[in-house]
Structure 1
């Protein structure tokens, strides 16, 4: 509730943003080195497995970003916190970009692995639905002359779209799909993961770097969105006073 105040949020974000930027660089440099050079090629996929170090972190961030949109949508609809709506406006294009990276890198990985760029299986289709949910949220926000009504409509779609997240997560277990099952499904699997530590280390480094990058981009965009709203509200007040 305290973070619902834009001024207080800006004050906190000015501290968090540079720290996350430093963390991103600190993780990205060793992550890229281990992913591209020190990690071994897969015995079946050979060097094409290195696409995993972009594809999987992008997928994780895309899901995490949408989860934050869904929660923000519920907060805005229930408690009427405008900052939650502005978070949706700020994060939707970022999540859309990470989902696009996930889809494109998955296609590039699928061609040498599966022999095809795309199949309409449950995992790929549900992630494509996630991309269209992001596009829909972004489009709804711009579809209204009254931007607050656009945020309200976007909040509804973000909240309703949460139902797609468990479908993405469990699609490889509920249906027979070409997509491989998750190598790390829970904390209990961490002790005996289905992926070698030489590959898991760069994967986690890249996942941490992508997460920190998302936080930096989201906070930067949110500060811009807040500033634009303040300018727009001031312009509307001046216009009303002049009538």
Structure 2
């Protein structure tokens, strides 16, 4: 029996299986983000310490989660490419990177706004903020490698090495508030013993988080389909030219 990973690695199979998913995932993203925004703005309570500014959390925290998870997926796809030589993994990883950078910058920007209200400063060079900034540079470097190197094989190999090496930054981001003194509070959602946040705040937080995931999935699939179509187009063009030249040669 064939390995499911090998079957899905075929570009034609990948497109055939995933194309019907794009629209429903996109619709789910819109519904979840609208619901999360409404509940977060109008139906969730203000925090007893932070007041109304706590609503920034519903954008900031899911963006930070997605920034880390997207990079982990890119590093994982790069590892798959190195071990099994599945070129589709490189294509999908490349198409995920701009979204990962977007989530990272959104997390940094909203974190700065939240920090100004909560701590009185937009930025502090603590471990969490600094490691998130490093993540933004890793994303930018990964994207730059693909843009600078013309040969796809060389670009994929170089970018993949960067992605896998950069993955060491992910646990630093995650555990920085536990390992070093930080302005950031420790984990309140994903932690031992369960969340220490009321359900009225968890609901919009998870609605937004799943909305981000659905948005990410739909956009990555669309970008991957477009990238695969671009890779196939030159081959079709060359084939067409050869067919046109064949009668003249004969």
> TM-score if structure 1 supplies the norm length?
0.93
Q: Distance in 2 between matches of 1:126 and 1:45?
A: 25
Determine helix, strand or coil for the equivalent of 1:189: coil
Q: Distance in 1 between matches of 2:216 and 2:35?
A: 18
Structure 2: runs of 5 or more not aligned:
246-250
Q: Deviations along 1:98-127, whole A, 9 cap, x unmatched?
A: 111111010011101010000111111111
* 1:162-181 equivalence runs, <5 A: 162-181=167-186
1:205 aligns with 2:207: yes
1:101 aligns with 2:106: yes
The Cα shift of 1:232 comes to: 3.7
Q: Distance in 2 between matches of 1:209 and 1:12?
A: 22
- The residue that corresponds to 1:189 in the other structure is 193
1:7 aligns with 2:7: no
- The residue that corresponds to 2:248 in the other structure is none
Determine helix, strand or coil for the equivalent of 1:182: coil
- The residue that corresponds to 1:114 in the other structure is 119
> TM-score if structure 2 supplies the norm length?
0.90
Q: Distance in 2 between matches of 1:59 and 1:236?
A: 44
1:153 aligns with 2:153: no
- The residue that corresponds to 1:21 in the other structure is 26
The Cα shift of 1:150 comes to: 1.0
Q: Distance in 1 between matches of 2:151 and 2:35?
A: 46
The Cα shift of 1:70 comes to: 0.4
Structure 1: runs of 5 or more not aligned:
none
Q: Distance in 2 between matches of 1:239 and 1:128?
A: 48
Q: Distance in 1 between matches of 2:67 and 2:229?
A: 25
The Cα shift of 1:22 comes to: 2.1
The Cα shift of 1:92 comes to: 0.6
Q: Distance in 2 between matches of 1:87 and 1:166?
A: 23
Deviates more, 1:18-27 or 1:116-125: 18-27
1:79 aligns with 2:89: no
1:42 aligns with 2:67: no
| Structural RMSD (CA) | 1.8
- The residue that corresponds to 1:139 in the other structure is 144
Asked whether the equivalents of residues 141 and 150 of structure 1 are also in contact (C-alpha less than 8 Å), the reply is yes
The Cα shift of 1:231 comes to: 2.0
Which of 227, 231, 237 is the matching residue for 2:229?
Answer: 227
Please say which structure displays the higher CA radius of gyration. Answer: 2
